[in-house]
Structure 1
Amino acid sequence: MDKKITLPFALALVTAALVGCSSNKLKVEEPKPNPLPKLAQAKTLVPVFSQGVTSTDKADPLRLQLDSDNGVNFIVNPKGEVAAYRGKQRLWQTRVSKRGLTSGVEAKEGVVLVGNAKGELFALDQATGQQKWRAQLSGALLSPSLIQEGRAITIANDGTVFAHDVATGQQVWAYKMPNVQFSLRGQPSPVLLDPRTVLVASANAYVYAIDIISGVPRFQRRVAVSEGRSDVQRLIDIDGDPVVAGQFLVTTSYQGQVTVIDLAAQQVVWSEDASSNKRAEVSNDKVFVAQTDGKLVAYNLTTGEKTWESDVLLHRELSNPVMLGSDLVVGDLDGYLHLINPDNGQLVGRSKTNGEVRTLRVVENQLYVSTRKGEFTVWQNR
């Protein structure tokens, strides 16, 4: 049976291992976050929606992102509720599970999908919030599902990928990824490669392409390697979603590498050492990576050349980076949303939300933010 550990615990174990036998005589202190530099004439974002729910534990990697479909925002509450808003008007609110909810929302094809730590997947009617069906999966659900071609694709935290019929909830197929002895408690979301193929990433640093309709695997590819000595030092999970950018597949891994694969040739184009458990961002032939130590790095998509590197936000526990208009945006542990010039890595603006920023998404040129304190906000450029 595989063992799931949280990222803070893994970092503590790695630090202890590096200190060595004399660690019982030393007090290992966590690095202090870099202070924020003052910005002259800084850009700011405009908040257009805000809603608070129950907070989550700091050590928990939950990605309780909100989703939007047909102008309606769908929000999940860890206490077990889901709500729908059009603007500031609440359309409905439904109590889904007494056991709480642990996955973000996926809203598409008239259905809202959420899941919990007991492996229960719930499908709600988008218009009314009424439960359409429920399915029992084999492990905790920690990341949003994917709805495509009438299939609900969900990854359980034991590495099993499930496909259910969106209309009926009937299981169509299941694909079991290999187990590993140790892994981080977290799971990337399934990602579309094309309308008939879904990409899923695993704790063993492989990416699998699976036919959405049949569940038949099309290919698999190892995207990172580890050189650690202990089990913890060899943790090499892919917890950030893979990114498809034209003919390229971009992945990041914890204590591993950022890797770019040419999907047409099925070959690694380049790979550079970088530890990250966040999704990379790809824009204008650049790959932007937020590393676990808070360093931001930009690479050339096709060559792997490092175009810039910034440690201004070092140890600020950064979220995944995203492009919003012409700015790169990343969140931090204090709820700040940093606007960055993607050409040189310079800070150009800042806005503030409530709580440690967990996930960022851009939908129709608006920034969707979720925090550990349960604050869901939507922002746009001025």
Structure 2
Amino acid sequence: MKRIFLIAILSTLALAACHSSKKSNVEPPRELTDITPTVSVQRVWKESVGEGAQDSGVRMRPAYDDGTLFAASTDGVIEALDAKTGKTLWRNKTRTHGWFGWGDKKIRKDALYAGGPGAGEGLVVTGTLDGHVYAFDAKTGKQRWVAKVSSEVISAPVVLKDITVVRTNDGNVFGLDTETGKQIWLYDQDTVPPLSLRGNGPLLVARGVIFFGTDDGKLVAIRLDTGEKLWDLPLATGEGRTDIQRLDDADVGVLIDGSTLYASAYHGELTSIDGPTGRPGWHRKFSTYTSMDIGGNAIVGVDDASNVWAFDKGTGSDLWKQDALQWRWLSAPAVQQDKYVVVGDLKGYVHWLDLSNGKIAARERLSHKAIRSQPLVVGDMVYVEDVEGDIGAYRLGSSTP
């Protein structure tokens, strides 16, 4: 059954609300107000990589490894940049693995990168909308291998010493040999609901176990070496008459702190879970469409109205709520230095919130295009990518009185 993807629908409606003079049930983005910055932020460089995600609905996010930033786009470009300067180290324009014909003509198409990239073990690995996985040498950009999987890949592969883990949009998880790309194991999700959020949350790998949320509202744990399922836990139970009312997607990423996991779902709950056993701890109502982050004593998330929340990780109780960015279709939040929360919005703004109280501490503008992917934090640097492939590097400075 053809799947309907909610994020694309909601984004279209939000943009329509901005440009239409007719009455609409869609809430317009809250207007930004002037702020007095309490921390200095400097843009170090800005570069463009291909055409970005465009209207594909995927969240293209750079990867960082050993001083190098790697980025890919839906028009077949994958590029390595010096993380300090933004200088291009190598660039690869990839064609698909195989020929596609229309009538009597056969054309080799650009690789439609949409998943990743992921980096590690001297490799950069990314997936495509037509179900291929490409691996490149991180130093030279030379293609090392290509593998075929069951469906489009729209989240970053996890590259480890022996196994590269890839999630496909039909719910399957593949364990591929990092050296050759050959399939080692397959975790097959039997059924996928007809309606889900567009995208797959990042896979979490810890202590030989892979954790991920599913489109039907469950958190699943499988073995890294074999793909065998260890346990699963429902995070949401869809209720209502329509598919949208029953939407209970938990495919928005998982957090870990010590041996405790934290996961949430759309139309579901934020839950703490004992990692080894899968037993739930505290839980509270919280509906989110994107991944969360953790810093200090706080779990930070964005709800389905783009309010930013912080919760006590020990109890789940509210620490603060920031509604000044409501309906601006924020990216997933990223915690920087346990002091600030960084989010992007649909107009290309990047916001820094004080982790202690939720107040907006700084604001910069990357572009006039939406930022859908989670900012990438590396020490005092933040790397942000918009939907057209513009990447900005920002340095966090000192607090101001």
2:17 is aligned to none
How far apart are residue 2 of structure 1 and its match?
5.7
In the TM superposition, 1:297-316 aligns within 5 A as: 297-316=309-328
- Are the equivalent residues in 2 in contact too, given 1:299–1:308 (CA < 8 A)? yes
How far apart are residue 365 of structure 1 and its match?
3.8
In terms of mean alpha carbon deviation, does 46-55 or 333-342 score higher? 46-55
In the TM superposition, 1:326-365 aligns within 5 A as: 326-354=339-367, 355-359=369-373, 360-365=375-380
Distance in structure 1 (CA, Å) of the matches to 2:40 and 2:266: 32
- Are the equivalent residues in 1 in contact too, given 2:52–2:388 (CA < 8 A)? yes
How far apart are residue 8 of structure 1 and its match?
4.2
How far apart are residue 227 of structure 1 and its match?
2.4
1:49/1:10 CA distance change after superposition, 3 Å: closer
- Are the equivalent residues in 1 in contact too, given 2:6–2:197 (CA < 8 A)? yes
Report SS of the residue matched to 1:105.
strand
1:236/1:39 CA distance change after superposition, 3 Å: same
2:303 is aligned to 291
Sequence identity percentage: 26
Structure 1, residues 159-210: CA drift from partner, whole Å, max 9, x if none?
A: 110011010111000001242232222111211122x111122101112212
Distance in structure 1 (CA, Å) of the matches to 2:340 and 2:297: 15
Report SS of the residue matched to 1:357.
coil
1:40 is aligned to 36
Segments of 5+ residues of structure 2 without an aligned counterpart are: 14-21, 96-109
Report SS of the residue matched to 2:116.
coil
Q: Does residue 1:375 correspond to 2:397, yes or no?
A: no
Structure 1, residues 214-234: CA drift from partner, whole Å, max 9, x if none?
A: 222222222222223222211
**Aligned counterpart in structure 2 of residue 239 of structure 1, from 251, 256, 264:** 251
Distance in structure 2 (CA, Å) of the matches to 1:49 and 1:167: 34
Q: TM-score, normalised by structure 1?
A: 0.90
CA RMSD of aligned residues (A): 2.0
In terms of mean alpha carbon deviation, does 105-114 or 71-80 score higher? 71-80
Letter of the 1:5 partner, please give it: F
Report SS of the residue matched to 1:358.
coil
- Are the equivalent residues in 2 in contact too, given 1:224–1:259 (CA < 8 A)? no
- Are the equivalent residues in 1 in contact too, given 2:58–2:199 (CA < 8 A)? yes
**Aligned counterpart in structure 2 of residue 152 of structure 1, from 134, 147, 164:** 164
2:47 is aligned to 51
1:192 is aligned to 205
- Are the equivalent residues in 1 in contact too, given 2:217–2:251 (CA < 8 A)? no
Letter of the 1:190 partner, please give it: L
What is the aligned residue count? 368
Q: TM-score, normalised by structure 2?
A: 0.86
2:19 is aligned to none
Report SS of the residue matched to 1:79.
coil
1:6 is aligned to 6
How far apart are residue 334 of structure 1 and its match?
1.3
Letter of the 1:6 partner, please give it: L
**Aligned counterpart in structure 2 of residue 251 of structure 1, from 244, 259, 263:** 263
Letter of the 2:247 partner, please give it: L
- Are the equivalent residues in 2 in contact too, given 1:122–1:131 (CA < 8 A)? yes
Distance in structure 2 (CA, Å) of the matches to 1:313 and 1:167: 45
How far apart are residue 129 of structure 1 and its match?
0.9
2:77 is aligned to 81
2:336 is aligned to 324
How far apart are residue 10 of structure 1 and its match?
6.0
Report SS of the residue matched to 2:202.
coil
Segments of 5+ residues of structure 1 without an aligned counterpart are: 14-25
